[in-house]
Structure 1
Amino acid sequence: NWGEQKKAASAKAGVSQVLSRYTYASTLSHLRRTNTPIGRDGKIAKPRQLHNTHWGLVCPAETPEGQACGLVKNLALMCYITVGTPSEPIIDFMIQRNMEVLEEFEPQVTPNATKVFVNGVWVGIHRDPAHLVNTMLSLRRRNMISHEVSLIRDIREREFKI
């Protein structure tokens, strides 16, 4: 039970579990398990179904039978969760490579500039996005930035997302 013993009404049961060490496969399966924290006795179907955004992340077949069906889900076999990397070194590098910081950007001067986003935050613009993308790709290929960093250039929207 989880919570203060004095306030037994607010204590939650089942917050922690004993790690299954029966086999190596069962240990991996147990570590990659997610649990939806709603009552098992409800007849609501929506929480038991996979959402469209779960494609490739959650296994559509691996779920227990019975009341927990669909409420306990497992990550897909090839799903890989990244731990993230700090964005400041990447932003500093791009500033050295002629990226204009957003605070200094004047839309009237360069209306066709490409917006640069890092972790979903608009950090600046660049006038030569092809050169910037090729530079970032070569850095990633040489392992100077993490292989987990994704580089997406949207030519139509004039955006470069890192």
Structure 2
Amino acid sequence: FRMLFRKLTKDVYRYLQKCVETHKEFNINMAIKTQTLTNGLKYSLATGNWGDQKKAMSSKAGVSQVLNRYTYASTLSHLRRCNTPLGREGKIAKPRQLHNTHWGMVCPAETPEGQACGLVKNLALMAVISVGSVSGPVIDFLEEWGLEPLEENAQSTNLTKVFVNGVWLGVCRDPL
């Protein structure tokens, strides 16, 4: 998009120079060619090559792909896929293994066979990716319902830790 926008601004600049040289009135509707962005994005989504059409060899390939719609289950599986951007021919084992932090988020069983084994991972069945939200109202609610600050109870081992967006806020004596 950045390259297409840069091309659009260059076209507007050239049109402005031409208007100044020929003493014409500048018309923004004539200066902005909407087809520049439209055609560029259509090309990128259709081919998967992101970048200028003229420089297709140096553009990033594989950024978009066709959605698999064989069955409902295969469509859901395709939408929940995580692709590791490494070469398939390498024999490095570490990127193919599940990390401890993947527990509950990445399915340990669903991965393709062959060269892509372990490099293509799927989200776990109950994993949900939520849209980012503001932490303030959640923190206020938790403080009203008995969240004890972390500074006062950091040493207690039998209390339940409370995290909001990955930040340890405090502890709770009576979890629901």
TM-score class normalised by the smaller sequence: 0.5 to 0.7
Cα distance in 2, alignment partners of residues 81 and 62 from structure 1: 18
Which runs of at least 4 in structure 1 moved beyond 6 Å after TM superposition?
94-97
**Residues 13-70 of structure 1, C-alpha deviation per residue, up to 9 Å, x if partnerless?**
2111111111110110001101001111111111111111112211112111111111
Is 1:113 aligned to residue 161 of structure 2?
no
- In the other structure, the counterpart of 1:51 is 99
Alignment of 1:8-157 (within 5 A): 8-92=56-140, 113-114=152-153, 118-120=164-166
Judged with a 3 Å threshold, the aligned counterparts in structure 2 of structure 1 residues 54 and 120 are, in CA distance, closer, same or farther, namely closer
**Residues 133-162 of structure 1, C-alpha deviation per residue, up to 9 Å, x if partnerless?**
78xx7xxxxxxxxxxxxxxxxxxxxxxxxx
- Alignment length (residue pairs): 121
What amino acid maps onto 1:14 in structure 2?
G
Root-mean-square deviation (CA), in Å?
3.4
Higher relative CO (Cα under 8 Å, sequence separation at least 6) belongs to 1
Consecutive unaligned residues in structure 1, runs of 5 or more: 100-111, 138-162
Q: CA deviation at 1:85?
A: 3.0
Q: Is the partner of 2:78 in helix, strand or coil?
A: helix
Structure with the higher helix share, 1 or 2 = 2
Structure with the higher strand share, 1 or 2 = 1
Q: CA deviation at 1:117?
A: 6.9
Q: Of the two, which has the highest radius of gyration?
A: 2
What amino acid maps onto 1:119 in structure 2?
N
What amino acid maps onto 1:22 in structure 2?
Y
Cα distance in 1, alignment partners of residues 87 and 133 from structure 2: 37
Q: CA deviation at 1:74?
A: 0.8
- In the other structure, the counterpart of 1:5 is 53
Q: Is the partner of 2:101 in helix, strand or coil?
A: helix
What amino acid maps onto 1:18 in structure 2?
V
Judged with a 3 Å threshold, the aligned counterparts in structure 2 of structure 1 residues 96 and 29 are, in CA distance, closer, same or farther, namely closer
Q: Is the partner of 1:70 in helix, strand or coil?
A: coil
Query: TM-score, normalization: structure 1?
Result: 0.57
Query: TM-score, normalization: structure 2?
Result: 0.53
Percent identity of the aligned residues?
74
Q: CA deviation at 1:88?
A: 2.2
